[in-house]
Amino acid sequence: MRAIPLLPLLLGGWLVLPAHADDAQDILKRLAQAEQTQSFQGTFVYERNGSFSTHRIWHRVIDGKVREHLLQLDGSAQEVLRVDGVTQCVSGTLVPGVANLRDSSTRALDSKKLSAWYDMKVVGKSRVAGRNAIIVSMTPRDQHRYGIELHLDSETALPLKSLLLNDKGQLLERFQFTELDTRDVPTDQMLEVSSDCKPVQMVKTKDDAPNTRSTWRSDWLPDGFELSSSAARKDPVTKALVTSLMYDDGLARFSVFIEPLNGAAVTDIRTQLGPTVAVSRRVTTAVGDAMVTVVGEIPIGTAERIALSMRSVDDQTRQVTK
Q: pLDDT of 67-91, one tens digit each?
A: 999 999 998 778 999 998 888 888 8
Closest among 83, 81, 43 to 63, alpha carbons compared: 83
Q: Which class would CATH give 16-199?
A: mainly beta
* Average pLDDT over every residue of 236-250: 86
Lowest mean pLDDT among 213-222, 235-244, 269-278: 235-244
Q: Is 104 helix (H, G, I), strand (E, B) or coil?
A: helix
Q: For the segment 149-183, what is each residue's pLDDT rounded down to a tens digit? A: 999 999 999 999 999 999 999 999 999 999 999 99
CATH for 216-321, among 2.60.40.420, 3.40.50.11540, 2.40.50.140, 3.30.200.100? Answer: 3.30.200.100
The span from the CA of 221 to the CA of 145, in Å, is 12
Work out the number of other CB atoms within 10 angstroms of the CB of residue 69: 20
Residue extents of the structural domains in the chain: 16-199, 216-321
What is the pLDDT, as a whole number, of residue 75? Answer: 80
What is the pLDDT, as a whole number, of residue 281? Answer: 95
Do 268 and 291 form a contact (C-beta atoms < 8 A)? no
Q: Is the pLDDT confidence value at 185 over 60? A: yes
Q: Is the pLDDT confidence value at 321 over 80? A: no
What is the DSSP track for 31-51? Answer: HHHHHHH--EEEEEEEEETTE
* Average pLDDT over every residue of 145-152: 96
Closest among 261, 258, 264 to 280, alpha carbons compared: 258
Q: Is the pLDDT confidence value at 207 over 80? A: no
Q: Would the CATH topology of 16-199 be identical to that of 216-321?
A: no
With a threshold of 0.85, does the pTM exceed it?
no
